[in-house]
Amino acid sequence: MDGIPTAGTTSEDGAVTGEAVNGPQVGLIMGSDSDWPTMEAAAEALAEFGIRFEVGVVSAHRTPQRMLDYAREAAGRGIKVVIAGAGGAAHLPGMVASATPLPVIGVPVPLKYLDGMDSLLSIVQMPAGVPVATVSIGGARNAGLLAVRILAATDPELRTRMEQFQADLEKLVLDKDEALRTRLLG
């Protein structure tokens, strides 16, 4: 889609950069560029696993035709999962889900008022037949990791990397447990 840049690697300073080699697998969209500080965590998680993705602003209220075009064309462009972040009324994830057969992960973006609770309730309360997988308020990293898991269902190499990620998380917790016990018990 015109105007939606693709990315998929990180530079040494951690910024998300780079061009997709074979086209993006994940669409990472948000209702406003002000959502990027929240949504960047999803991009970072995808980049950690080498997942090609695109990033763009697609507003359900200000650019409804662009949003519908994006949703309808995503699968044909090779997108396999859409991560959609929105605050306030947060209609973007649900509207995209209504116009695409792809899995959509909704990220409630916290705003000045109500701390994202309005966004969460809007995204999670979808009518029957229009599912949106919803992560916690501001939970963009988990949205990225969920997209990795969805892709890993049909990619054994990616599944192996996810299993290693899970093992590393377990080791981190066990190391913290040991450190705490050592500190408290001497």
Please report, for the chain, the start and end positions of each structural domain, with discontinuous segments joined by +: 6-154, 156-186
Q: Please write the tens of the pLDDT for every residue from 20-59.
A: 448 999 999 999 999 999 999 999 999 999 999 999 999 9
Q: Please write the tens of the pLDDT for every residue from 129-162.
A: 999 999 999 999 999 999 999 999 999 999 999 9
* Sequence-ordered alpha helix ranges (H) in the chain: 36-48, 64-74, 92-99, 117-124, 140-152, 156-185
Q: Please write the tens of the pLDDT for every residue from 50-89.
A: 999 999 999 999 999 999 999 999 999 999 999 999 999 9
How high is the pLDDT of residue 113?
Answer: 85
10 in Cβ contact with 44 (< 8 Å): yes
Q: Which residue has the tokens 């916290």?
A: 110
Query: Which whole-number Å values give the CA distances from 116 to 3, 6, 51, 106, 150, in the listed order?
Result: 28, 28, 28, 12, 25
Phi, psi of 34 (to 5 degrees): -70, -10
Which residue positions form the known binding site? 32, 35, 62
How high is the pLDDT of residue 66?
Answer: 97
Which residue positions form the known binding site for substrate? 32, 35, 62
**CATH match for 6-154 among 3.40.50.1970, 3.30.420.40, 2.40.70.10, 1.10.150.130:** 3.40.50.1970
Residue 17, pLDDT > 50, answer no
How high is the pLDDT of residue 18?
Answer: 39
122-159: buried (b, 16+ CB within 10 Å) or exposed (e) per residue?
bbbebeeeeebbbbebbbbbbbbbbbbbbbbeebeebe
User: What percent of the chain has pLDDT above 90?
Assistant: 87
